[in-house]
Structure 1
Amino acid sequence: MSDLLWQKPGVKVDARIQNFLAGEDVILDREFFLFDIQASAAHAQGLQQIGILSADELAGLSRELDVLAEDFRAGRFVLDERFEDGHSAIEGRLIERLGDAGRKIHTGRSRNDQILVATRLWLKDRLSHLYALCRETAEVALARAEAEAQLPLPGYTHLQRAVVSSAGMWWGAWAEGFIDNAVRAQQTLEWVDANPLGSAAGYGVNLPLARDHTTQALGFGRLQVSAAYAQLSRGKFELGAIDALSTAVLDLRRLAWDLSLFTTAEFAFVALPAEYTTGSSIMPNKRNPDVIELMRASYASVAAARSEIEHLLSLPSGYHRDLQFSKGAIFHAFGRGLAALELLPDLLRNLEWKPENLRAALDPSMYATDLAVDLARQGLPFRDAYKQAADPARWAEGDPEASLAARVSPGASADLRLDVLRRRLQALT
């Protein structure tokens, strides 16, 4: 490992202790590295504005930061065990290339606000991706709801046959759900869109740092004003981002459960695209819905990450090294969660219903609720109508299309109000 930024003369560094302190930090920092470089460039611009750096020094630092970013993308620079973390790697590279100008880059900055701003930029990027995936999923579901509005589909409660439903209702539910998920991602993005750079270790510094400049240069919506709150917000903002992710992945879990059931031979309602299934290693007859099962499982990773960060935050104010462990949690949550969501739109575009099986699953009992409501509409008290409709002798083969057409309450099969959902989706920016 290269010389430590904080190492003092005469203080021995125990390799075992240092390995424990660093842990997998340098590996995790690969996720943040380009954002850390971006923030370092903005910080250098701010230092030049207040006279700490000359114009020539700024030009050299800006050039070398660009070269470092390109070398990292191309694999010519590897963030590995030579470095304590990504921050020290950037500073070490600048010192190696530029000497004293590189030694000035950390003026007015702490690794505390350095990791805060890199994390915040990373969260913005991930939330933007989450928002886009939720919008795309909602669009696919809404388009299929419009196209298949009156396709009969058995409706279930308690996993028991309940009433006649429709593919339009099933798709419309997911469309509205993922519109809400997109809204949640957008609102969370706006909430975390605050610049902590310049808060240093949580108490500011005795320099007139150009915090308004770095806010604008890094594309933040606002300045995170209080230097102390910048530290308090670490973990809190990560939890908010995970909560936004979890709402989408929770919907994905339930959708995947539906498809897991619908693809069984017992239901046989849906055929999945072949590429979303795998074979058995021993049973030649099998095609397994492994992709949707792992989609269903992905929520566990998101929930675990949330729990880990929540437990880390049992802390007083100020910075504490415990927070280092929050990085792995958010990477794991967003890595698993977004990977699953990325596969969802194409799955929904390409799954195929088996209409003959859908219709065959509609038995006479599923029209009993329609009968009860019809009797009530004719003036019979509903509880009496309910008792009459519960008599199997009154059940008969029904017309699923007529049942769907009669369900006129807003949001039901005859009044899906997909136009309302279409306007909501189009209103998203």
Structure 2
Amino acid sequence: MSDLLWQKPGVKVDARIQRFLAGEDVILDREFFPFDIAASLAHAEGLLRIGILAADEFAGIKIELANLAEDFGNGDFVLDERFEDGHSAIEARLIERLGDAGRRIHTGRSRNDQILVATRLWLKDRLARLHALCIESAEVALARADAEASVPLPGYTHLQRAVVSSLGMWWAAWAEGFIDDAQRARDTLAWVDANPLGSAAGYGVNLPLDRDHVTRALGFDRLQVSAAYAQLSRGKFEMAAIEALCSALLDLRRLAWDLSLFTSAEFGFVALPAQYTTGSSIMPNKRNPDVVELMRASYASAAAARTEIEQLLSLPSGYHRDLQFGKGAIFHAFGRGLGALELLPDLLRNLEWKADAMRAALDPSMYATDLAVDLARQGLPFREAYQQAADPARWAEGDPEASLQARVSPGAAADLRLDALAARLRAVRHVARSGDA
């Protein structure tokens, strides 16, 4: 490992202690590294504007940061155990290439606000991707709701046959769910879109840093004004981002449960695309819905990450090293969560329904509610109508299409209001960027 930024003369560094202090930091920082480089460039430009860097020094830093980003992207520069973390790697590279100009890059900042701004930029990137995936999934579900609106599907409560439903209702439910998830991702992105760079270790510095310019240069919507609150927001903003992710993964979990049930031989309602299934290592007859099952499991990683960060935040104000452990949590949450959501739109496009099996699962009892409502509409008190409709002797084979056409309440099979959902989808499709009206 290179010399530590904070190492004091005459103090020997214990290798075991340093391994514990560094932990996985240098590996985890690979996720942040491009954002850390971008923030370093904006900080250097800010130093130029207040006279800390000369124009030629800034020009050299700009070139070397671009070279470092390129080298990191193509694998020529590896963030490894030679460095304590990504921040020290950037500084070491600039010092190696530029000498004193590289030594000036850290003027006016701390590794505290350096990791804060890199994390914030990373979260914005991931929330934008979450928003886009929710929009795409909602679009697919809405299109299929329209195309398959009147195809009968058994409706269940308590996993028991309940009433006649439709594919239109099933698809519309997920469309609206993912529209809500997209809106939550967009709103959370807007909330975390605040620049903490220039807050240093949480108390500012005795330099007239041009924080407003750096905010604009990095594409943030606003400045996180209080230097002390910048530190207090660490973990809080990460939890909010994970909660937005969890909202989408909750819908994915329940959708995946439906597909797990519907693909079983006992239901037989749907066939998954072949590439979304795997085989058994011992049973030649098996095709397993492993992808769907891991989609279902992905919520657990995000929920665990949120809990881990929440537990780290049992702290007084100011920076504390405990917060270092939050990095792995957000990487694992978004890594697994977005990985699952990336696969969802194509799954939804390509799954195939088995209409005959769905129709065969409709039994006479599933028309009992229709009968009770019809009797009530004819003037019978509903509780009396309910008792009469509960008599199996009154049940008969029904017409599923007629049952669906009679379900005229808003949001039911005969009035799906897909146009209203499409309007909401259009409204939440746009993500505001810095400078947008």
Q: Please, what TM-score do these two structures have when normalized by structure 1?
A: 1.00
Distance 1:215 1:427 in 2: 27
Aligned to 1:198: 198
Instruction: Encode CA deviations 1:213-252: one digit per residue, 9 max, x unaligned.
Output: 1100000000000000000000000000000000000100
Establish whether residue 48 from structure 1 lines up as the match of residue 48 from structure 2: yes
Name the aligned partner's letter for residue 60 of structure 1: G
Q: CA deviation at 1:105?
A: 0.2
Name the aligned partner's letter for residue 16 of structure 2: R
Aligned to 1:241: 241
Name the aligned partner's letter for residue 202 of structure 1: G
Establish whether residue 119 from structure 1 lines up as the match of residue 110 from structure 2: no
Name the aligned partner's letter for residue 423 of structure 1: A
Structure 2 regions of 5+ residues with no counterpart? 431-437
Distance 2:273 2:328 in 1: 33
Aligned to 1:264: 264
Q: Which runs of 4+ in 1 moved over 3 A?
A: none
Distance 1:386 1:375 in 2: 9
Instruction: Encode CA deviations 1:367-419: one digit per residue, 9 max, x unaligned.
Output: 00000000000000000000000000000000000000000000000000000
Distance 2:95 2:269 in 1: 64
Amino-acid identity (%): 84
Q: Counterparts of 1:234-383 in structure 2 under 5 Å?
A: 234-383=234-383
Instruction: Encode CA deviations 1:340-361: one digit per residue, 9 max, x unaligned.
Output: 0000000000000000000000
Distance 2:234 2:399 in 1: 58
Distance 2:427 2:201 in 1: 41
Aligned to 2:106: 106
Distance 1:192 1:425 in 2: 22
Distance 1:24 1:423 in 2: 46
Q: How many residues end up aligned between the 2 structures?
A: 429
Aligned to 1:78: 78
Taking only aligned residues, the RMSD between alpha carbons, in angstroms, comes to 0.3
Name the aligned partner's letter for residue 341 of structure 2: L
Distance 2:89 2:203 in 1: 25
Establish whether residue 188 from structure 1 lines up as the match of residue 182 from structure 2: no
Structure 1 regions of 5+ residues with no counterpart? none
Distance 2:356 2:151 in 1: 11
Distance 1:214 1:15 in 2: 37
Establish whether residue 425 from structure 1 lines up as the match of residue 406 from structure 2: no
Aligned to 1:148: 148
Aligned to 1:3: 3
Q: CA deviation at 1:338?
A: 0.2
Distance 2:80 2:426 in 1: 45
Q: CA deviation at 1:193?
A: 0.1
Aligned to 1:393: 393
Task: Please give the secondary structure, in 1, of the residue aligned with 2:164.
Answer: strand
Establish whether residue 97 from structure 1 lines up as the match of residue 89 from structure 2: no
Q: Please, what TM-score do these two structures have when normalized by structure 2?
A: 0.98
Distance 2:288 2:28 in 1: 34
Q: CA deviation at 1:109?
A: 0.3
Aligned to 1:25: 25
Q: CA deviation at 1:426?
A: 1.3
Distance 1:385 1:183 in 2: 42
Name the aligned partner's letter for residue 34 of structure 2: L
Distance 2:412 2:82 in 1: 62
Q: CA deviation at 1:182?
A: 0.1
